[in-house]
Structure 1
Amino acid sequence: MKQFSWSEETKIQWNMRADYWHKHSIEMWDQGSRKDIIPFFRQHVPIGHSIADLGCGDGYGSFLFWKEGYDVTGMDISEEMVKIAKKHEQLGLAFVLGDLNNPPFSDNQFDGIVAINSLEWVEQPLHALNECKRIVKPNGCACFGILGPTAQPRKNSYARLTGEHVICNTMMPWEFEALAVDHGWEKIAEHGVYKRGVASQHLQGLSRELKQALTFLTLFMMKNIGKEV
């Protein structure tokens, strides 16, 4: 029996999903769950800076960051995704094939990082998080998007309960926050993208963890402070 490889299976599954993702990415970024990401990012990383979009998918989000005025390099593990993304390439916008466990970038190469729903798809989130810290400049910022506990993509991890191999990590937003803060990052901002049916009055008086539990996606802006606690 062939030995299971998380990274290879991730590549296979996202290659198969590339066309589906491409059909839906414009709506997600323009009107859906990802429409708040660029305004949130822009508050903390000046336009004109160099950024890496790690887990860029079909590249549409990277393209929007480029339109805002950032110098963008998108990276994805899926050859099919990168093939689609490269159709967007132009001066200041490039795409490369790469694994978040070992991104093909130099130390301190970027002013900022975007990694939306990326760390949930790696076997060892801490290792990937440390790689993010390696490639961003000291005091550089990284925007991480972590799925809420009832976001539909988390169903991909269900089969682990029956002993099957899965490629979706069940890390919760509050777990990611603790992991990052304990390993050389400082949280400077947070933004919740809430599930349909959640109104502002539902959030009144709730703790941070309970608010995160109602999100589809929690956005964290983290600063690379370069040391572990």
Structure 2
Amino acid sequence: MEKSFDWHKAVEERWDSNVSFWNEKSRKMWEKGSRSTIVPFVEKHMEAKGKIADIGCGDGYGSCKLNEAGFRVVGVDISPKMINKANEVQGDGLSFTVGDLAELPFEDNSLDGVVAINSIEWTEDPKQALQEIMRVIKPGGKLCLGLLGPTAGPRQNSYRRLYGEEVICNTMMPWEFENLSREMGWQVVDGHGVYKEEAKDFPVEQLPTPLKQALTFMWVFMLRK
């Protein structure tokens, strides 16, 4: 019998092979690129010194930035090689562990918050992953989640599904994720868009939210449990 496709193993292998590539991009993304708004956004909505998990932490650069902002951070990634790279980063209240968003290595109601940037797209069942995040966050705790927008190049990872091929990127529209989160009991607290350079001079802020989201490279949500 032909072995069924193992989504989680395929994702692990994909990101194991991307360590060098990601490490080269990560610093630029967090300092001045598409992720530069994340830490200030988290600081605005989450209390410093709280315990948070950075899910899909990659090489750990973002986890380090959050730790420097005063949070106790556990970085989690499905890729053992990414975690090996992340463990090169040092900081008080900063640690890393291998883990799967589908089955997080935390007790119920044990975290003050979770940061998950462009990671839920890499899960086979986003609804189940969102339930798992809700399980580990304390009542009243918050989730900062970055979702690839319609203009994001990485969304091409899911294109081959139209040929009936197995893919490992479960892309969603921001409005779809927002509806899903509300229906699951999350409260949408805040959100903002990250745009490509070509849209920087466009009067985006004058548009209604659905049109803002339609232009985004990434939409960043803040949700409350």
Q: Shorter-chain-normalised TM-score: which range?
A: over 0.9
Q: What is the correspondence of 1:177-192 to structure 2 with a 5 Å cutoff? A: 177-192=178-193
Equivalence for 2:75: 74
What is the CA distance between 1:201 and its match in structure 2?
4.2
What is the CA distance between 1:216 and its match in structure 2?
0.7
Amino acid in structure 1 at the alignment position of 2:54: D
Q: What is the correspondence of 1:3-14 to structure 2 with a 5 Å cutoff? A: 3-14=4-15
1:119-163 per-position Cα deviation (integer Å, ceiling 9, x unaligned): 111010000000000001001011000011120000100110101
Contact 2:101 2:123 in 1 (8 A): yes
Distance (whole Å) between structure 2 residues aligned to residue 75 and residue 205 of structure 1: 37
Q: What is the correspondence of 1:1-229 to structure 2 with a 5 Å cutoff? A: 1-199=2-200, 201-203=202-204, 205-224=206-225
Amino acid in structure 2 at the alignment position of 1:98: G
Q: What is the DSSP-based 3-state SS (H/G/I as helix, E as strand, rest coil) of the residue aligned with 2:4?
A: coil
Q: What is the DSSP-based 3-state SS (H/G/I as helix, E as strand, rest coil) of the residue aligned with 1:215?
A: coil
Contact 1:89 1:95 in 2 (8 A): no
Q: What is the DSSP-based 3-state SS (H/G/I as helix, E as strand, rest coil) of the residue aligned with 2:17?
A: helix
Distance (whole Å) between structure 2 residues aligned to residue 144 and residue 50 of structure 1: 16
Distance (whole Å) between structure 2 residues aligned to residue 50 and residue 149 of structure 1: 32
Amino acid in structure 2 at the alignment position of 1:151: A
| Unaligned runs of at least 5 residues, structure 2 | none
Contact 1:114 1:142 in 2 (8 A): yes
CA RMSD, 1 decimal: 1.1
The TM-score with structure 1 as length reference comes to: 0.95
Of the structure 1 ranges 95-104 and 195-204, higher mean CA displacement relative to structure 2 is found in: 195-204
Amino acid in structure 1 at the alignment position of 2:195: Y
Q: What is the DSSP-based 3-state SS (H/G/I as helix, E as strand, rest coil) of the residue aligned with 2:34?
A: coil
The TM-score with structure 2 as length reference comes to: 0.97
Equivalence for 1:227: none
Distance (whole Å) between structure 1 residues aligned to residue 75 and residue 140 of structure 2: 21
Amino acid in structure 1 at the alignment position of 2:191: E
Alignment length (residue pairs): 224
Q: What is the DSSP-based 3-state SS (H/G/I as helix, E as strand, rest coil) of the residue aligned with 2:49?
A: coil
What is the CA distance between 1:200 and its match in structure 2?
5.6
Contact 1:52 1:112 in 2 (8 A): yes
Amino acid in structure 2 at the alignment position of 1:162: Y
What is the CA distance between 1:89 and its match in structure 2?
3.6
| Unaligned runs of at least 5 residues, structure 1 | 225-229
What is the CA distance between 1:196 and its match in structure 2?
1.4
Distance (whole Å) between structure 1 residues aligned to residue 160 and residue 205 of structure 2: 35
